[in-house]
């Protein structure tokens, strides 16, 4: 029987009530007394030299309080890249300075070069129109190959190249990989594009800067997935504000998907402007701005080769990728195509030799950074597509070719040739499971039924793995990370036995307020309702690296468990004191402390009260109070994996693709709240189907974005996706964190795009149409053109 509370229960989400009644408190909903409003002047050209900005007319507009330009930030530091990548030749990556407002040049459409602060939002916008900026348009650098070859036209003149880095992983593997290809009986190669996406969290970004001249304190309310990281970036790097003088609050946040990890220039501008005018400054991004300022995702061009023997045993994988950085390095931009991508190129397979090359390129386009899955969808897509093509070339069943190459359960821990150590997994189990829940046995009959109505039906498989629970600080430090990726928690037991749990995770849809309470309730044997989860405010929680990379439960949740264990240890001492027993004899079970072998017992609530009414404590041995903190640094990444099966119907006359079935069997290790986990997979798969069939950010040859609104950028709507069949009953618990959990947030977005595209190819091939690849998004026109070309 399913549990009704604690670990494993589908507890209803407590946060839902406020969201369902209009009582959520998103940043745009917050009004600060005497607030003013900011609007930004943004470049309409992709590449231009700022000759002058005349602000006089704007300053004279009604309600205008201040105008800021890049010159106001000439003395402050730049927004840094969080990860230093070293090129194959040993040189560090090129890292141009990124100012909150552009100085000297504008480098993408939407690049902000001035900000107007006014009494109302409308006045600020009106005044932006009155700015007179002389911006001389330069040739835009859009295509990555041209950017690399053309050293005369540079996005950043001062670095002398458009190449950020040329990275090899692992360089020492290269000779063996090349040799394996030389002698391989069969080589399959594929060139593919991983399309640029706009994350499109439904809540646009908002920031409110509030400087208090009487104390020198800054407060920033902002739409962030990681308020402490934002505080660190603004304080230590961009503006030089000490942490004790800067509070960052991220209240309810309406989705992130990566795009709200990063520190954006607007946050620094509202803080600086607030100090300048001595009043709070609020900025609310609109969707049109979001399309040209929120960091985009993906945008890789890859050539992948797979060497096999005639039986389909994998011998080697080799890839060459161009990764678009856009115009500036966003905070995680450099690590996404490298350590979050190259290290995953072994997949769940025992391929002995793997080599990955990535060239990161500056272009006059919106910056690109981590978006749901971040590097791992790109790796999975390349690998699962080339395997599919290989299976077809060799005439091997698509499930069979995967099975014969899977790492086997008795091989863990398994060190891949690209330097990860998978701790546990069972890839056949999830593939068996998806065959069952997706009723693959019935596919032939369904294909027949589709054909009877003139449609081609295809089945696509993808077996994916990711490294998440980011990350062991020691490891990422060796690889160039400029931050630690541990996390922190404080558990505060109140005198009446209720709890506040402060976590470094940030919930922007994941349901932490419910799920983390389930974990603590289980550990302490108390009711979930007694526990409050506090997050999103640097003044209330000890520290935190935030939520991304499917890390919240695996890392932040582990910190909560560790802090809870300390609570139990301290409470055991108090209970022993209360019952005049030796602490070693006191057992904690089901919320009660009992002296073993006796009927002496104290409830958790009794002990909590005693901690705060310590009338006869031996103070040298026992402190009053009951509050503990823990910092948790994982020993390894976690490695969730799964198998996805997608069925599509393709209309051979129009090229239209309809996803008619999608089954996902995942291994997330232990699961705290099955309902929430299923929801995470649904959402990820929905985004993956969007990437596969619909979504793409397009810049024209002049760097002008052609997809600047929901009129032009195709977001998946309810009618574009099917109902999903999901399962997470295959569980190989993580071996190195106290909950045995692996993380589920990104899975759906990682595993689904290749399953969809493989299904489209399968459908076309079933109709005798010899199409071996169609780039994403697999739109009707692309499919139709591919069909015509194959005729």
Partner 1 sequence: MPDINLTLNGQAVSGTVENRTLLVDFLREGLGKTGTHVGCDTGQCGACVVHVDGVSVKSCNVFAVELDGSKVTTIEGMANADGSLGVIQQAFQDHHGLQCGFCTPGMVMTAAALLKENSDPSEAEIREYLDGNICRCTGYHNIVKSIQAAAAEMNASPVAAE
- Sites of contact with partner 1 (CB under 8 A): 12-13, 15-26, 28-29, 122, 200-204, 252-255, 257, 286-288, 508-511, 675-676, 678-679, 682-687, 709-711, 715-719, 721, 723-724, 748
3-state secondary structure of 115: strand
**Nearer to partner 1 (CB atom), residue 331 or residue 687:** 687
Given the complex with partner 1, which of 16 and 136 has the nearer CB atom? 16
Minimum CB separation of residue 466 from partner 1 in Å reads 18
CB nearer to partner 1: give 26 or 784: 26
Is the CB of residue 703 less than 8 Å from the CB of residue 364?
yes
Residue 514: name the closest of 744, 727, 746, 677 by CA.
Answer: 677
Query: Tokens 């700022």 — which residue?
Result: 50
Helix (H) or strand (E) holding 64: strand 64-69
Q: How many residues does the chain have?
A: 791
Q: Which two tokens stand for residue 340?
A: 């979050």
Helix (H) or strand (E) holding 51: strand 48-54
Q: Would you state the structure tokens that stand for residue 157, as one six-digit string?
A: 């003149």
Residue 95 or 203 with smaller CB distance to partner 1: 203
Cβ(367)–Cβ(325) below 8 Å: yes
Is the bond into 170 cis (omega within 30 degrees of 0)? yes
Nearer to partner 1, 417 or 438 (CB): 438
- Shortest CB 377 distance to partner 1, Å: 16
Shortest gap between Cβ of 530 and partner 1 (angstroms)? 20
Shortest reach from residue 601's CB to partner 1, in Å: 37
Nearer to partner 1, 21 or 616 (CB): 21
15 or 585: CB nearest partner 1: 15
Exposed, middle or buried: residue 403 (CB in 10 Å: 0-12, 13-18, 19+)? middle
SS3 category, 452:
helix
Using CA atoms, how far apart are residues 461 and 645, in angstroms rounded to an integer? 5
Q: List the structure tokens of 514.
A: 């419910």
Partners of 164 in beta bridges? none
* Of residues 628 and 727, the one with the C-beta less far from partner 1: 727
To partner 1, the closest distance from the beta carbon of 17 in angstroms equals: 7
* Least distance CB 682 / partner 1 (angstroms): 4
Give 343's DSSP letter.
G
- Compare residues 252 and 628 and give the one whose CB is closer to partner 1: 252
Smallest gap from Cβ 674 to partner 1, in A, equals 10
- Residue 300 has φ and ψ, to the nearest 5°, of -115, 145
Alpha-carbon distances of 223 from 32, 242, 766, rounded to whole Å: 16, 21, 47
DSSP string, 140-193: ----HHHHHH--SS-SSGGGT-SEEEEEEETGGGHHHHHHHHHH-SEEEEEEEE
Nearer to partner 1, 3 or 12 (CB): 12
Distance from C-alpha of 521 to C-alpha of 517, rounded to nearest angstrom = 6
Beta-bridged to residue 303, according to DSSP, are 191, 320
Nearer to partner 1, 584 or 718 (CB): 718
End-to-end CA distance of the chain: 57
Half-sphere exposure of 424 (CA within 13 A, CB side): 16
- Whether residue 328 contacts residue 96, with contact meaning beta carbons closer than 8 Å, is answered with yes
Q: What 3-state DSSP class applies to 211?
A: strand
Least distance to partner 1, CB of residue 693, Å: 13
Q: In 3D, which of 564, 630, 548, 550 has the Cα closest to residue 228? A: 548
Q: Which residues pair with 283 in a beta bridge?
A: 207
Residue 372 CB, shortest distance to partner 1, in Å, is 10
> Measured from the CB of residue 351, what is the shortest distance to partner 1 in angstroms?
32
CB of 720 to partner 1, least distance (A): 9
**Which C-beta is closer to partner 1: that of 20 or that of 596?**
20
Contact criterion met (CB below 8 Å) for 345 and 383? yes
Q: Tell me whether residue 105 or residue 282 sits nearer to partner 1 (CB atom).
A: 282
Is residue 734 exposed (0-12), middle (13-18) or buried (19+ Cβ within 10 Å)? buried
Angle between the N-to-C axes of helices 747-766 and 674-693, in degrees from 0 to 180, rounded to the nearest 10 = 50
- Whose Cβ is closer to partner 1: residue 17's or residue 474's? 17
Q: How far is the CB of 496 from partner 1 (least distance, A)?
A: 25
Whole-number minimum distance, CB 338 to partner 1, in Å? 27
Nearer to partner 1, 196 or 573 (CB): 196
Tokens linked to 690: 């969007």
363 touches 162 (CB < 8 A) = yes
Give 529-557 as a DSSP string.
GGEEEE-SBTTTSS----S-TT-IIIIII
């Amino acid at each position: 029987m399913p549990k009704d509370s604690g670990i494993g229960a589908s507890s209803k989400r407590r946060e839902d009530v406020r969201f369902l009644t209009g009582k959520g408190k998103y940043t745009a909903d917050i009004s600060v007394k005497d607030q003013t409003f900011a609007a930004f002047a943004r470049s309409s050209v992709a590449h231009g030299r700022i000759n002058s900005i005349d602000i006089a007319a704007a300053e004279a507009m009604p309600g205008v309080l201040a105008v800021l330009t890049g010159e106001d930030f000439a003395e402050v530091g730049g927004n840094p890249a969080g990860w230093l990548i070293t090129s194959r030749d040993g040189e560090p990556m090129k890292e141009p300075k990124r100012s909150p407002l552009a100085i000297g040049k504008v480098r993408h459409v939407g690049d902000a070069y001035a900000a107007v602060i006014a009494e109302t939002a409308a006045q600020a916008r009106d005044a932006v129109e009155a700015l007179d900026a002389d911006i001389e348009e330069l040739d835009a650098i859009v295509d990555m190959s041209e950017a690399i070859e053309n050293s005369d036209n540079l996005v950043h003149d001062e670095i002398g190249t458009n190449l950020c880095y040329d990275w090899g992983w692992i360089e020492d593997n290269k000779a063996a990989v090349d040799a394996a290809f030389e002698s391989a009986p069969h080589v399959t190669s594929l060139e593919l594009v991983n399309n640029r996406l706009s994350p499109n969290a439904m809540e646009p970004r908002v920031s409110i800067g509030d400087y208090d001249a009487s104390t020198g304190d800054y407060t920033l309310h902002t739409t962030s997935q990681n308020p402490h990281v934002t505080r660190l970036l603004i304080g230590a790097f961009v503006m030089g504000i000490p942490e004790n003088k800067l509070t960052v609050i991220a209240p309810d946040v309406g989705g992130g998907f990566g795009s709200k990890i990063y520190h954006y220039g607007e946050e620094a501008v509202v803080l600086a402007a607030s100090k300048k005018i001595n009043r709070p400054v609020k900025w609310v991004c609109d969707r049109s701005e979001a399309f040209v300022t929120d960091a985009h995702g993906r945008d890789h061009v890859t050539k992948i080769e797979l060497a096999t023997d005639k039986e389909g045993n994998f011998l080697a994988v080799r890839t060459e990728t161009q990764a678009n950085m856009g115009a500036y390095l966003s905070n995680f931009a450099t690590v996404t195509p490298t350590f979050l991508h190259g290290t995953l190129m072994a997949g769940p397979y025992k391929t002995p030799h793997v080599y990955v090359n990535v060239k990161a390129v500056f272009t006059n386009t919106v910056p690109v950074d981590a978006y749901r899955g971040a590097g791992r969808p790109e790796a999975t897509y390349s690998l699962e597509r080339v395997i599919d093509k290989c299976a077809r070339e060799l005439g091997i069943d698509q499930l069979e070719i995967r099975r014969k190459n899977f790492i086997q359960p008795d091989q863990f821990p398994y060190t891949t040739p690209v330097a990860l150590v998978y701790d546990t997994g069972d890839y056949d189990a999830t593939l068996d499971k998806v065959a069952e829940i997706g009723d693959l046995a019935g596919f032939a009959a369904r294909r027949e039924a589709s054909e009877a109505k003139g449609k081609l039906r295809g089945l696509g498989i993808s077996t994916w793995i990711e490294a998440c629970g980011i990350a062991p600080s020691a490891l990422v430090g060796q690889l160039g990370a400029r931050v630690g990726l541990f996390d922190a928690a404080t558990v505060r037991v109140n005198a009446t036995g209720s709890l506040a749990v402060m976590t470094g995770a940030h919930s922007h849809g994941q349901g932490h307020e419910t799920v983390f309470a389930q974990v603590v309730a289980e550990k302490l044997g108390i009711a979930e309702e007694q526990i409050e989860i506090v997050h999103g405010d640097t003044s209330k929680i000890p520290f935190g690296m935030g939520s991304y990379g499917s890390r919240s439960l695996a890392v932040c949740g582990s910190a909560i468990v560790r802090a809870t264990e300390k609570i139990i240890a301290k409470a055991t001492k108090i209970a022993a004191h209360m019952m005049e027993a030796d602490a070693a004899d006191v057992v904690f079970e089901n919320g009660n402390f009992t002296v073993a072998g006796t009927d002496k017992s104290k409830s958790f609530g009794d002990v909590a009260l005693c901690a705060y009414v310590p009338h006869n404590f031996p103070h040298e041995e026992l402190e009053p109070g009951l509050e503990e903190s823990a910092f948790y640094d994982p020993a390894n990444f976690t490695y969730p994996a799964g198998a996805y099966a997608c069925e599509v119907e393709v209309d051979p006359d129009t090229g239209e693709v309809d996803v008619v079935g999608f089954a996902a069997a995942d291994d997330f290790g232990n699961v705290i709240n099955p309902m929430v986990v299923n929801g995470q997979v649904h959402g990820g798969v929905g985004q993956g189907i969007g990437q596969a069939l619909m979504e793409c950010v397009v810049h024209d040859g002049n760097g002008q974005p052609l997809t600047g609104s929901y009129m032009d950028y195709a977001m998946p709507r309810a009618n574009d996706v099917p109902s999903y069949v999901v399962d997470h009953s295959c569980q190989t618990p993580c071996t190195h964190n106290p909950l045995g959990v692996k993380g589920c947030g990104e899975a759906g977005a990682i595993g689904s795009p290749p399953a969809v595209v493989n299904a489209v190819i399968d459908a076309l091939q079933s109709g005798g149409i010899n199409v071996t690849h169609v780039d994403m998004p697999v739109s009707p026109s692309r499919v139709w053109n591919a069909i015509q070309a194959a005729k």
